[in-house]
Structure 1
Amino acid sequence: MIVSAHPSTPNPFKQPKAVWAVAFACVISFMGIGLVDPILPSLSAKLRATPSQVSLLFTSYLVVTAVAMLVTGFVSSRIGAKRTLVAGLVLIVIFSAAAGASGSIDGIVGFRAGWGLGNALFIATSLAVIVGSASGGFAGAIILYETALGIGIAIGPLLGGELGAISWRGPFFGVAVLMAIALIATIVLVQPTPTPARRASIADPIKALRHRGLLIMGLTALCYNWGFFTVLGYAPFPMDLGTHELGYVFTGWGVLVAVFSVFGAPWLQARLGIARSLYLNLALFALDILVIGLFTDSKATLIVAVIVAGAFIGINNTITTQAVMTVAPVERPVASASYGFVRFIGGGLAPYAAGKIAEHNGVHLPFYIGAAAVALGIGVLATGHSLLAEAERVQAAEAAGHTPAEERRETLEKQAPAEELGSAG
């Protein structure tokens, strides 16, 4: 049976200037994820650090991002979305420059943590701003956001490889300069936003996890991100490539993330629906990570499997982001913060765990565990199958100009969280 969730999708790239300014800043922000990949082995050698120590560049960045997600709504509801965006960008500029000026692995890890704080303020707020300001509907806004994510992830390793070949400090200073440009564009082009009528509490994202749909999607994303960041954070070490070559590999990976975010995900969802698309995509991603684990000693296989992983990541990012924003019976900024908190915990812990596991049990085991984590995510997601079907119905109706997703959200907000948990079966 063919299911179409997007009968008529408006062009997501016809947007106001303010949306483009935020999208550009998103590109630069997401560059920070893959920027350090090409220089991981170089950092390990030049600063005399073990792979697990170097992987803390991901762990400190993503774990702090996860925890800081809890305060994004609290901050933005008091100072407004634009000021929150600006504050996040300022922090990223300061801490990325400080990381470049640091002379020790501990210093870089610490400054990456500060970078993660700015990243959390920016990411959670930027998604809400793009969804709220973009023309072309909710689905188009998500596609634009995921396009920015994909482009940033694609360019990050390329820039990291080129600047990293000059000096390991180059990628950090490069991000500081680019984020300063994004900061100026945001200040000039994004209009001041009024503070919401209701001030959010720090506890709101945690309370939101009492809703079954949001919790299931968050836990699925935690499992998926464990596999994702095992590949991203540890695969550069067994590849045994130079800085330039690693940059090209992860650029190819990032290009597939971008292409499949924008084109592959809508195509697949239109043919299989949300649930079956996610089940199939997660199964293929788990298989791909398993191949990496089985053939880690084959450089050619490792390179191809890592690049191919970008396709599965792109599809998952777009479909899951749309689904979580639809099933969550809370305001979208709260949903974004709650979901980000859970998923980035998995992404932050995975690279460090991979390094430690490899040091004691060999290079293959981290990838076996990553594949198993993604497979576990399929089981978790299956417990919310009916919610995915409802999300698909709401998205289809919204795309057709009928019942918007907000109506479902208002209805679900009236339901007691305990009732939702009670239906978990």
Structure 2
Amino acid sequence: MTISPATLSPPARTTAPGALPGLALSVLLSSFGASSVNVALPTLQRAFSTSFAAVQWIVLAYLLAATAAAVGAGRLGDAIGRRRVLLAGIVLFTTASGACALAPSLPLLVAARALQGLGAAVMLALGMALAAGHTQGRTGRAMGLLGSMSAVGTALGPALGGLLLAGPGWRAVFAAMLPGAVLAFALVRRLPDDATVRSGGPFDVAGLLLLVGTLLAFALAATGAGAHWSYGVAALCTAAFVLVEARARAPLVPLALLRDRVTATGFATSALTMALMMTTMLVGPFYLGRALGLGAGGVGLALAAGPLVAALAGVPAGRLVDRHGARRTGMAGLAAMAVGAGVVALAPRAAGVAGWIVPLAVLTTGYALFQAANNTAVMEAAGIDRRGVAAGLLNLARQLGLIAGSALLGAVFAAGAPDPAHAAAAQVAAATHATFALAALLPLLGLGAASLVRAR
């Protein structure tokens, strides 16, 4: 992150009234779609008389489709028009949400969720790219707002989903997304067409297929769902992907973005920070429930503190980016994340819930600062014609960070507490402290990388 205030474009207002709210709503809906269904899984298992392993595909189909399509959605927007592709993505998300609400069987529901995930990938990638393009001089504020909306969607999903589940039923959880999607479509339609987007040649289908193969193999290997040879398949697909992209006339991922120090560091650091955030979601319920003895309600409230802080900190973080520059704000955010994770690692059980919530608030505030700064730096460095694919790569990096954090840091936690649901409180606490001690190194690695970028 080497962008300073002087490198940013002159101040300008958004080019269409309601443009930024429409883009923010698109991001909120994509996050809501990912988080709202988890609470309904037990009900869906009973409704379709199936196993828990089978019903999990309702969640996995959405996440895998969104991850696999992230870069392709951004590249397609760069090629034929971001507004046009975003509107198509919202239509797909809306249609798929309706199909989910009406699904008569589990296979059809899973298929509809996959289509919904594809639409969500478009909404995330192009929502970010269009926000950067229509808020020159205020990119930090736009990125901060989108970060807040993502956190709001994540926090709102389980809460509203639970209320709808207790009232109208599980179909209402999916139907609830329809009014917001229609409103997002109406607002985004008011955006002007992309006057600066270049066609860039034919779409790189071979690159997309190889990227999807790489991601699926990596996800299966990292989550333990596939055999050990999945890592080998992922490595082979990665090598083939690099060769194809180097020769493609219009590559899915321009290798120049990966060679550029600002964008490459931004992608890598985004993955590192998401691995840390995954640790809070993975380890937190066991620490709060077993080590601190909270009930289900107390655990839920304590875990909600993170998304709440992120939602409140997003817009102020964006203002700080516009005022002080992406580099300085981003490094402050990484430092705060390291401090927050370090305090969790050192806090004794006697500190109680405060020993979790206070450092988590510091960690999450740091994450909001970093996200606003890093997204701004990458969007500015990518240039006008590559903002879509850059946003897609940022989303891809976050998903890979979530997968890697779940696999690697989850393994560290499991080594200390092999059966955390039934382990002694002291054992779970010790495993949590060890996991966060290692996790605190991740933002420090990001700080080191950012310092090296400046040194060069």
Contact 1:21 1:190 in 2 (8 A): no
Would you say 1:283 and 2:353 are equivalent positions? Answer: no
Provide the rounded CA distance (Å) in 1 between the counterparts of 2:451 and 2:105: 48
- Which digits, 9 at most, give the CA deviation of each residue in 1:90-136, with x for residues without a partner? 22223334444557877666544332221121211111211212365
Q: What is the root-mean-square deviation in Å for CA atoms of aligned residues?
A: 4.6
Provide the rounded CA distance (Å) in 2 between the counterparts of 1:42 and 1:305: 35
Contact 1:158 1:247 in 2 (8 A): no
**Aligned partner letter, 1:362:** D
Contact 2:333 2:370 in 1 (8 A): yes
Equivalent in 244, 253, 262 of residue 213 of structure 1: 262
Corresponding residue for 1:383?
Answer: 449
Corresponding residue for 1:372?
Answer: 438
Corresponding residue for 2:423?
Answer: none
Corresponding residue for 2:243?
Answer: none
Match of 1:180, SS? helix
- Which digits, 9 at most, give the CA deviation of each residue in 1:128-159, with x for residues without a partner? 21121236533333233334334434433432
Offset of residue 277 of structure 1: 0.5
Provide the rounded CA distance (Å) in 2 between the counterparts of 1:88 and 1:283: 37
Would you say 1:226 and 2:309 are equivalent positions? Answer: no
Instruction: Call closer, same or farther: CA 1:238–1:143 in 2, change over 3 Å.
Output: closer
For these two proteins, the number of residue pairs brought into alignment is: 385
Provide the rounded CA distance (Å) in 2 between the counterparts of 1:307 and 1:54: 33
Provide the rounded CA distance (Å) in 2 between the counterparts of 1:196 and 1:65: 24
Q: TM-score, normalised by structure 2?
A: 0.66
Give the 5 Å matches for 1:145-184: 145-166=146-167, 167-184=169-186
Corresponding residue for 1:362?
Answer: 419
Match of 1:209, SS? helix
- Which digits, 9 at most, give the CA deviation of each residue in 1:337-368, with x for residues without a partner? 22222222222454577888759923355885
Offset of residue 197 of structure 1: 2.7
Contact 2:12 2:135 in 1 (8 A): no
Provide the rounded CA distance (Å) in 1 between the counterparts of 2:286 and 2:105: 20
Instruction: Call closer, same or farther: CA 1:380–1:308 in 2, change over 3 Å.
Output: closer
Corresponding residue for 2:188?
Answer: 186
Provide the rounded CA distance (Å) in 2 between the counterparts of 1:101 and 1:237: 35
Match of 2:176, SS? helix
Would you say 1:346 and 2:401 are equivalent positions? Answer: yes
Corresponding residue for 1:322?
Answer: 376
When Rg is computed on C-alpha atoms for both structures, the one with the higher figure is: 2
Provide the rounded CA distance (Å) in 2 between the counterparts of 1:385 and 1:35: 39
Would you say 1:80 and 2:129 are equivalent positions? Answer: no
Corresponding residue for 2:308?
Answer: 255
- Which digits, 9 at most, give the CA deviation of each residue in 1:232-275, with x for residues without a partner? 46745776689877775555432211221222565598499235
**Aligned partner letter, 1:260:** A
Offset of residue 38 of structure 1: 4.7
Offset of residue 218 of structure 1: 1.3
- Which digits, 9 at most, give the CA deviation of each residue in 1:62-106, with x for residues without a partner? 443232122124322444222211121122223334444557877
Provide the rounded CA distance (Å) in 2 between the counterparts of 1:105 and 1:10: 50
**Aligned partner letter, 1:335:** A
Gaps of 5+ in 1: 391-422
Contact 2:28 2:153 in 1 (8 A): yes
Contact 1:161 1:247 in 2 (8 A): no
Contact 2:145 2:314 in 1 (8 A): no
Provide the rounded CA distance (Å) in 1 between the counterparts of 2:433 and 2:176: 31
Contact 1:88 1:121 in 2 (8 A): yes
Contact 1:89 1:183 in 2 (8 A): yes
Give the 5 Å matches for 1:24-103: 24-36=25-37, 38-39=39-40, 59-101=60-102
Corresponding residue for 2:425?
Answer: none
Q: TM-score, normalised by structure 1?
A: 0.70
**Aligned partner letter, 2:391:** S
Provide the rounded CA distance (Å) in 1 between the counterparts of 2:61 and 2:340: 25
**Aligned partner letter, 1:142:** M
Instruction: Call closer, same or farther: CA 1:261–1:55 in 2, change over 3 Å.
Output: farther
Instruction: Call closer, same or farther: CA 1:354–1:92 in 2, change over 3 Å.
Output: farther
- Percent identity of equivalent pairs: 23
**Aligned partner letter, 1:144:** L
Instruction: Call closer, same or farther: CA 1:348–1:102 in 2, change over 3 Å.
Output: farther
